[in-house]
Amino acid sequence: MRSVRKPLIGIAAVLGVIIVLLAIVPYFFRDRIAQRVRAEVAASVNADVRWSGVSIGLLRHFPNVTLGLNDLSVVNGTPFAGDTLVAVRQFRVVLGLGSVIGYLTNGSPIVVRQLIVQQPVAHLRVLQDGTANWDIMRSRPSTPQRAGSRTLAVSLRQFAVNDAAITFDSRQSDLTAALSALDVALNGDFTQSHFALGTRVSAGDASVRFGGIPYLDHAAVRLGTDVDADMRAKRFTFNKAKLQLNQLALALDGSVARAGKNTDLDLSFSSPSTDIGGILSLVPALYARDFDKVQTAGKMAVSGTVKGAYGPNAFPGLALHATVDNGSFRYPDLPLPARDIGLDLSVDNPGGSVDGTVVTLRRFHVVLGQRPLDAQLTLSTPVSDPEVSLAMKGSVDLADVARTVKLPNVQQLAGLVSADFAVHTRKSWVDAGRYNQVSASGTFATSRVAISGDAVPHPVTVDSALLRFTPRRVELPAFVARVGSSDVRATGSLENLIGFLLHHGALQGEATVASNEFNLDEWRSGQQSQIIPVPADVDFTLGVTARRLSYGKLDIRDAHGQVLVKDRRVTLNGFGMHTLGGTVVANGYYETTTPAQPTFAFNVNVDSVDIPQAFSSLLTVQRLAPIARYARGRFTSTLSLSGPLAADMMPVFTKLTGQGSMQTGTIAIDSFPPLTKLADAIHVEQLRNPALQALLAKFNIDRGRLYVKPFDVKVGDMAMTVSGSNGIDQTLDYTLALALPTSMLGSSATQAIGALASAAGRAGLNLASAPAVSVGVQVTGTITNPTVRPSFAGTGSSVEAGVHAAATQLVQTQVAGAQAKVDSTALEARRRASAQAQALVAQAEQQAAAIRAAADSAAAKVRHTADDQAKALVDKATNPVLRVAAQAGADKLRTTADQQAADILRRANARADSVVADARKRAAAIAPPDSR
């Protein structure tokens, strides 16, 4: 037994060593191989090619080497700069082990055996001039192979693409295509010049649009065949290849060959089956559900050819013909069939240019229930100047549609749709206004339409709608509908409707829209708001009136104004409304020029709006004016605001900019934390829940912070000057200058202010002998957790003088505080001192402005009082003699008042100049000019 175990153990040990070596040896060569790949890519490709990592191993495809590139991306240069051409989750190459060793030792060629591409995403684009974004290979001169140079050989056996997504957009050919869930497998001996190439291609979802017409819409595609590959002639020949589009099977024959920059095509296809189920499967609404149970009858035929060169300056001839005769289909569990289906469709192009394509729908006929519907279409010159002839006649009872086709997400479908119109036009005729050449007549109408179900967020009813076709435009003389709880009435007109539907030119028009009640919340469908893109090809003017609009907590009445939609921008002109207890007029725009980064800019005039309603309804007020939470009253405001919007359609507050002003009548402030703390600190109960008299404040908004310019306000007999800022983070940085009449101070307040006076070096001051006491206050912290620092600022001969004294003292206190901090000669300390000095001067200039503003107010009050007294004096005179004497006395009152006002202004200007000069002097002491 032992004699058996020992050899087995030895063999296992050898195998273990071999496996370990196979696992770790590739890591010794990984960097060299990756460096080689980077060099080859850089020399060959005119694009930015990157990958996140390189994997290499021997175990997966032993005895070959597997090289993998993870998260590979190719980003274009000019003229597609920044566009990602292709992104690949993993690119795997299987290399012959012997060739890798030979390459590393003596420079012999590396042999490639397999290429496997996992989850590639490609965006292929062609500009109008034929420039293609995949044309990224560098032109490299052919030079003789140098001795000892290292080459790359190909002995490819398999090429595979798994789970790919590809989009193609050719502006030159007016052709777009999209493929997803795409798998490609090619097998063959690529070392041979002539071999059989096994080809298997499948796509779970394929769409093709050409010349504005959808030819394939979300169809499953499968192709399986053995292709005769002649690598020397670059020709690939199909023989009875099977191409399947959903249930439509086509036999494909012919060849594809590469000739310079062009591709020569010689292909023919036809449907071997005459069962109309194949062509019906290309109708997405039919194929989506239980299509295998559909009973069909009738005959169909599909055939076509593609012959000629396709390239930057070449387009092949093509012919497609599809017919259906006496067709019908029926779901066995639905009561009605679709019957008498007839189709005669052809697409022809003689070759040379895509603009030579002609699409002709000679006949389309179907009967649903007892109602027939017929249509014809001709489209030519689809690129240069689309010419369209379209006619439709018939009617459809939507209830018959629900009884014929399975609509799983629709609970109700009813109403009548009828059409009887014909249109013949060219795009150039409409552009040039040559409406005499346009032929258009007829109507398209609906009545009593009702739609509800999971497919629509809210029930839709259309009482009546009528489109009338004329040579100049499509008129909408009547439209009455309801969406959910919202009613809509509209009249208007559309221009270039046909061109817009064929993706040629903008849809233009104008309309008047009215509603008694419109609920905007229903349009959000209960989901998180998302960016709403504004279409590029729309030029529309709407006149809007609505008796009531609802949006969140906003209840809007009598809304009216003009809405313009153009160039990816929605513009409001004079959009007025009654809301929040007042009126609002808005002008501005919302635009999505960059769809992922919408922006807005608005000018808003607000008149007599209720403050509590504004705070509870508007996030902007909550973020930028948090004091509104504690205020009761009304305000009038002007506001200019602009900035970007986030993905949830909310403003990016840290990037907002704007300015405005606010004016109020008397407003009550209840339990505002900064004033509550101030009342506690100086024992003045009138500050706890004050009533602020009328005020006017101006402000700026910059990067999420609101800066308030100095303004004056009365609090009962007290006077206050306020300035500072608050942020969206609810932080505060405000300065208050208070003047308190000594007559209103109780014993507790007198003690508290006396303590402040002692701290300021004014111990023993007789506060009762002064008419007013000045207090300066610094408010920092946050709205809910503020820090309040009051300081004694002296006494004044009046409340106005007390405000000036408080403002002056605040500056002096800030200067002293800043100077006290400058106690180091280090570079960082000097920098901080310089910033403090600059802030000190700026604050002094603000306080000086406050002093001058208060003086202007006081001087105006003196003049106004004297003028009132003078008028009263003259009015009391009962005869001409007394009137002359009274007039002299009135003049004397006015002259004295002018002198007093001038004296107030002179002293205020001197005080303001002194405040600024003193601040500059102390700022220079803190940070000399050469240190700033």
Whether the per-residue pLDDT at 320 is higher than 80: the answer is yes
Residue with more model confidence, 673 or 290: 673
Helix axes 747-759 and 673-682, enclosed angle (nearest 10): 90
Judged by DSSP in three states, 560 sits in strand
- Return the pLDDT at 372: 95
- Return the pLDDT at 345: 95
Range name among 82-91, 376-385, 431-440, 901-910 with the lowest pLDDT average: 901-910
- Return the pLDDT at 1: 45
Residue 207's H or E segment, with its range, is: strand 194-210
CB 204 within 8 A of CB 351: no
Rounded mean pLDDT, 169-184: 85
Q: What is the pLDDT of residues 142-156, one digit of tens each?
A: 555 444 444 445 556
Rounded mean pLDDT, 353-365: 92
Beta pairing class for 152-170 and 110-126 = parallel
**What tokens were used for 850?**
């406050």
One-letter-per-residue 3-state SS of 244-283 = EECCEEEEEEEEEEEECCEEEEEEEEECCCCECHHHHCCC
Range name among 46-60, 330-344, 350-364, 510-524 with the lowest pLDDT average: 46-60
Whether the per-residue pLDDT at 115 is higher than 80: the answer is yes
Rounded mean pLDDT, 741-768: 76
Residue with more model confidence, 782 or 193: 782
Residue 125's H or E segment, with its range, is: strand 110-126
- Return the pLDDT at 886: 57
Q: How far is CA 427 from CA 506, 510, 541, 565, in A?
A: 11, 20, 22, 22
Whether the per-residue pLDDT at 80 is higher than 60: the answer is yes
Residue 516: how many other CB atoms lie within 10 Å = 12
Q: How far apart are CA 20 and CA 35, in angstroms?
A: 25
Residue 462: how many other CB atoms lie within 10 Å = 19
Q: How confident is the model at residue 725 (pLDDT cuts 50, 70, 90)?
A: very high
674: DSSP letter = H
- Tokens 């193609």 map to which residue? 168
Residue 882's H or E segment, with its range, is: helix 880-926
Q: How confident is the model at residue 4 (pLDDT cuts 50, 70, 90)?
A: very low
Rounded mean pLDDT, 274-298: 84
Q: How far apart are CA 893 and CA 901, in angstroms?
A: 12
- Return the pLDDT at 15: 39
Phi, psi angles (nearest 5°) of residue 766: -85, 95
**What tokens were used for 182?**
């795409």
Residues whose CB falls within 8 Å of the CB of residue 436, separated by 6 or more in sequence, listed in order: 471
Q: Among 806, 677, 690, which residue's Cα sits nearest to residue 740?
A: 806
Range name among 35-39, 228-232, 460-464, 538-542 with the lowest pLDDT average: 35-39
Phi, psi angles (nearest 5°) of residue 705: -130, 140
- Return the pLDDT at 277: 87
Q: What is the pLDDT of residues 5-34, one digit of tens each?
A: 444 444 444 434 333 444 444 544 555 556
- Return the pLDDT at 141: 56
Whether the per-residue pLDDT at 361 is higher than 90: the answer is yes
Residue with more model confidence, 527 or 69: 69
Q: What is the pLDDT of residues 510-550, one digit of tens each?
A: 999 999 999 877 765 445 556 778 888 888 899 999 999 98
Q: How far is CA 444 from CA 464, 472, 479, 493, 852, in A?
A: 11, 16, 12, 13, 71
- Return the pLDDT at 817: 45
Q: How far is CA 894 from CA 276, 564, 860, 900, in A?
A: 103, 56, 12, 10
- Return the pLDDT at 18: 38
784: DSSP letter = S
Q: What is the pLDDT of residues 556-584, one digit of tens each?
A: 999 999 999 888 899 989 999 999 999 99
Q: Among 355, 349, 353, 329, which residue's Cα sits nearest to residue 341?
A: 329
Residue with more model confidence, 778 or 650: 778
* DSSP bridge partners of 358: 348, 380
743: DSSP letter = G
Whether the per-residue pLDDT at 822 is higher than 50: the answer is no
Long-range contacts of 66-71 (CB under 8 A, 24+ apart): 66/92, 66/93, 66/94, 66/95, 67/33, 67/37, 67/92, 67/93, 67/94, 67/95, 68/92, 68/93, 69/37
877: DSSP letter = -
- Return the pLDDT at 104: 63
- Return the pLDDT at 793: 73
Mean confidence (pLDDT) of the chain: 80
Whether the per-residue pLDDT at 824 is higher than 60: the answer is no
- Return the pLDDT at 929: 57
Q: How confident is the model at residue 741 (pLDDT cuts 50, 70, 90)?
A: confident
What is the number of residues in the chain? 932
Whether the per-residue pLDDT at 223 is higher than 80: the answer is yes
Q: What are the respective helix, strand and coil percentages of the chain, to the nearest 5?
A: 30, 50, 25
- Return the pLDDT at 21: 40
Q: How far apart are CA 822 and CA 832, in angstroms?
A: 8
- Return the pLDDT at 816: 46
Phi, psi angles (nearest 5°) of residue 530: -130, 165
Q: How far apart are CA 314 and CA 356, in angstroms?
A: 12
- Return the pLDDT at 528: 53
Q: What is the pLDDT of residues 370-406, one digit of tens each?
A: 999 999 999 999 888 889 999 999 999 999 999 998 8
Residue 332: how many other CB atoms lie within 10 Å = 8
Q: Taking the CA atoms of the chain, what radius of gyration do you get in angstroms?
A: 41
Whether the per-residue pLDDT at 606 is higher than 90: the answer is yes
- Return the pLDDT at 819: 44
Q: What percent of the chain has pLDDT over 90?
A: 29
Judged by DSSP in three states, 363 sits in strand
Q: How far apart are CA 611 and CA 554, in angstroms?
A: 13
Range name among 325-339, 687-701, 732-746 with the lowest pLDDT average: 732-746
Residue with more model confidence, 668 or 536: 668
Its pTM stands at 0.64
Rounded mean pLDDT, 467-481: 89
